[in-house]
Amino acid sequence: MDFPLLTVIVFLPLLGAAVVALLGNARAVAGRVVAATVAVVDLALVAWLASRFDVDGGMQFVEKLTWVPQVGITYHLAIDGMSLAMVALSALLTVLAIVASWKTEKNPALWFSMLLLLEVGMNGVFVAMDFVLFYVFWELVLVPMYFLIATWGGPRRQYAAVKFFLYTLFGSVFMLVGIIALYLQTGTFNILEMAGAGLDPKFQWWVFAAFFLGFAVKVPVFPLHTWLPDAHVEAPTAASVLLAGVLLKMGSYGFLRISLPILPDAAAEWSTFIAALAAISIVYGAAVAFAQTDMKKLVAYSSVSHMGFVMLGIASMTPEGLNGAVAVMFSHGVVTGMLFFLVGMVYDRTHTRMIAEVSGLSSQVPVAGGLLAFASFASLGLPGLSGFVGEFLSLVGAWASDIPVGWVVLSAIGVLLAAAYMLWLVQRVVLGSPSAAVSGIADLSAREVAVLLPLVALTLIVGLYWDSLLRFTDPAVRSILAMMGGA
């Protein structure tokens, strides 16, 4: 058997988490070095895997071991271009989250080990091809995120953490039911084998509904989104970055990996409904973002809006739309990561997130102000930056599909509304004369710039040369569509 690269990528952070925890708070300095090293090595392994990845090779680096033979549960890992994009995002953002929270003083051993434990779950979800394994990773993610919010969060952290936990758990209960139903019907937990099983459409409809609840809460889709702003506002910066950057994508990944290939007939039936919810999420999220007075809440609601474009692309079930969906997933991780990092860095200095109290960043701290403006333009979908690629392709795909034109046009209006809330933020926070909270603060440190630069670079690379991302996602998308057509 080949070197189990995926297993190492998934479980190396678990080892790291254990070491960091054992070192304890007394040796926290050593602990965070271990954490950073493990995360960097993990990222390097992902890069190494990417360099050996055959873009047209379908599912690769397959590892399959019997786990619970009585019911056919296997330890089954594999990766395709779509999963690779998500794992890369997870590994990169974990490194940056660790570096960004380098100076954590409250219980640092637990903090860094929780970040690494979170990476185990995130990496695992995207490469698990056995339903039970997938579900284990899916739920595993909840635990460290719960602690990250509940321990290091803001004043209402308990409420936000419990709400986050219960809401997503509520969704995953239905997903579990769907998994069981599928197993009972097909006799396997193998996600890939189930695709194209030609299940009865009526049955598909019900299972789709169950999965929909599980995934839609995670994305989140209107009206199941209210856990998100609370979680973001209370979460510490690094947790917000990973929550928005990776955790939300688990939901849309579920649609792409599971709902579409396994339940194609139901997906076709549900597509208009999903497109409608997507369009509503886009416009509703944008409008509510516009009215926010708290920077973090604004970015949180912008996520609802952006993730709407993911759902629109998925609902289109066209090559353009699905590529667009994955591109938005990736870009949103990068750009929103940047935004949350920057809001956090501003908060560290001004001790406020209230938009009304922060102004004139570009005069006082030009690097921070400039990067916040850059991230804002990336977020509002300026062509040449990554945000445009996915939103544009989602719209193009949606237009070419059977989705009613009205929903597509409504979604397009979301692009305008994104410009409105983002520029209105820039207007008040970045431009103008420095406010009392801003005057006297120091600009970004070298460490903070180092956290942001990789994200800036990715935003530009993907925005200018789409194939840097799409060369990985397009073959995966084509195989999803082929599975749907084969049903």
Partner 1 sequence: MDWVTLIPLLPALAFVVLAPLSRAARAKLVPLAVAAVLGSLGLSIAAFLAVWPGGHGEVWQASVTIAHIGDRAITLGLALEPMSAIMLTVVTVVGACVQVYSLGYMHREDRIGWYYAVLSLFTAAMLALVLSDNFLGLFMAWEVMGLCSYLLIGFWHEQEAPRLASIKAFLTTKVGDLGFMLALAVVYAEAGAFDFATVLHHDWTAGTATLVALLMLFAAMGKSAQFPLHVWLPDAMAGPTPASALIHAATMVAAGVFLVVRAFPIFEASGIALTITLWVGLITALLAGLLAMVQHDIKKVLAYSTISQLGFMFIALGAGSSTAALYHLVTHAYFKSLLFLGAGVIIHAAHTQDMRQMGGLAKKLPVTSLAFASGSLALAGIVPFSGFWSKDEILAVLLHEHQYVAFAIALLAAFVTAFYVARLWFRVFTAPTQQEDLHEGHRSMLVPMVVLAVITAVIGFFGPTLGDFLGHEIPWPALGTAAISTVAALGGITLGWYVYGRRTSVVNTQALKQRFPHAYGVLANKYYFDLTYGYFVVGGYTTLARALATFDARVVDGVVNGVAAAWRSLSAAGWTFDGRIVDGAVNGAASAVRAAGDKVRTLQTGSVRSYQTLIAGAVVLLVVWILVKGA
Structure-block tokens of residue 289: 């973002």
Question: 255-294: buried (b, 16+ CB within 10 Å) or exposed (e) per residue?
Answer: bbbbbbbbbbbbbbebbeebbbbbbbbbbbbbebbbebeb
C-alpha 227: how far from its chain's center?
A: 15
Query: Residue 181 CB, nearest distance to partner 1 (Å)?
Result: 6
CB nearer to partner 1: pick between 41 and 423: 423
Phi, psi at residue 433, to the nearest 5°?
-90, 150
Helix 295-316 to helix 405-425 angle (10° resolution) is 160
- Contact 283/410 with Cβ under 8 angstroms? yes
Q: Choose the stretch contacting partner 1; rule: CB under 8 A; options: 96-104, 118-126, 285-293, 330-338.
A: 285-293
Number of amino acids touching partner 1 (CB under 8 A): 87
Regarding 21 and contact with partner 1 (CB under 8 A), the answer is no
Between residues 34 and 113, which has the closer beta carbon with respect to partner 1?
Answer: 113
| Shortest Å distance, C-beta 424 to partner 1 | 7
Q: Which is nearer to partner 1, 62 or 412 (CB)?
A: 412
User: What are the structure tokens assigned to 282, written together?
Assistant: 């886009």
CB atoms within 10 A of CB 183: 18
Query: What is the C-alpha separation between 312 and 285, in angstroms, rounded?
Result: 14
Q: Please, which of residues 373-392 interact with partner 1 by CB under 8 A?
A: 377, 382-384, 388-389, 392
Q: Which residue has the tokens 């903070």?
A: 448
Return the range that interacts with partner 1 (CB under 8 A); candidates 3-11, 58-66, 237-245, 470-478: 470-478
CA distance 112 to 32: 6
Give the nearer residue to partner 1 in terms of CB position, either 61 or 146: 146
Which CB, 34 or 261, lies closer to partner 1? 261
Which part of the chain contacts partner 1 (CB under 8 A), choosing from 31-39, 84-92, 118-126, 411-419?
411-419
> Cα–chain-centroid distance for residue 346?
23
Residue 440: burial class (beta carbons within 10 Å; 0-12, 13-18, 19+): exposed
Distances (CA, A) of 419 to 4, 157, 334, 424: 45, 31, 18, 8
485 binds partner 1 (CB under 8 A): no
> Pick from 1, 3, 103, 184: which binds partner 1 (CB under 8 A)?
184
Binding-site string for partner 1 from residue 419 to residue 448, where x marks contact by CB under 8 A and - marks none: xx--xx--x---xxx---------------
Q: Give the shortest CB-289-to-partner 1 separation in angstroms.
A: 8
Is residue 395 a contact point for partner 1 (CB under 8 A)? yes
Q: Which pair of tokens denotes residue 249?
A: 């994508």
Sole window of 39-47, 233-241, 248-256, 466-474 interacting with partner 1 (rule: CB under 8 A): 466-474
Instruction: Compute φ and ψ for 402, nearest 5 degrees.
Output: -85, 5
Q: How far is the CB of 45 from partner 1 (least distance, A)?
A: 27
466 binds partner 1 (CB under 8 A): yes
Q: Which of 111, 137, 183, 255 binds partner 1 (CB under 8 A)?
A: 183
d(CA 335, CA 267): 29
291 belongs to the binding site for partner 1 (CB under 8 A): yes
Residues 43-102 close enough to bind partner 1 by CB under 8 A: 71
Nearest distance in Å: CB 255, partner 1: 19
Least Å distance between CB 471 and partner 1?
7
Residue 175 Cβ vs partner 1, minimum distance, rounded to whole Å: 10
Amino acid at 159: Y
Q: Which is nearer to partner 1, 53 or 399 (CB)?
A: 399
> Could you tell me which residues are beta bridge partners of residue 294?
354
Which parts of 343-362 interact with partner 1 (CB under 8 A)?
360, 362
Nearest to 400 by CA among 289, 324, 467: 324
As measured in angstroms, the least distance from the Cβ of 206 to partner 1 is 6
Q: Rounded to whole angstroms, how far apart are CA atoms 312 and 391?
A: 9
Query: Contact with partner 1 (CB under 8 A): which of 8, 33, 36, 176?
Result: 176
Interface residue with partner 1 among 53, 139, 269, 441 (CB under 8 A) is 139
**Pair 97, 30: CB distance under 8 Å:** no
Residue in this structure with the two tokens 């040369």, named with its chain if needed = 465
CB distance 330 to 469 below 8 Å: yes
Stretch of 2-10, 196-204, 269-277, 331-339 contacting partner 1, by CB under 8 A: 196-204
Residue matched to tokens 């510490």: 236
Does position 25 bind partner 1 by CB under 8 A? no
Distance in Å, CB of 373 to partner 1, minimum: 9
DSSP-derived secondary structure letter, 128: B
Q: Is 408 in the site for partner 1 (CB under 8 A)?
A: yes
Residues 108-137 that bind partner 1 (CB under 8 A): 132, 135-136
Tokens of 448: 């903070």
CB of 375 to partner 1, least distance (A): 14
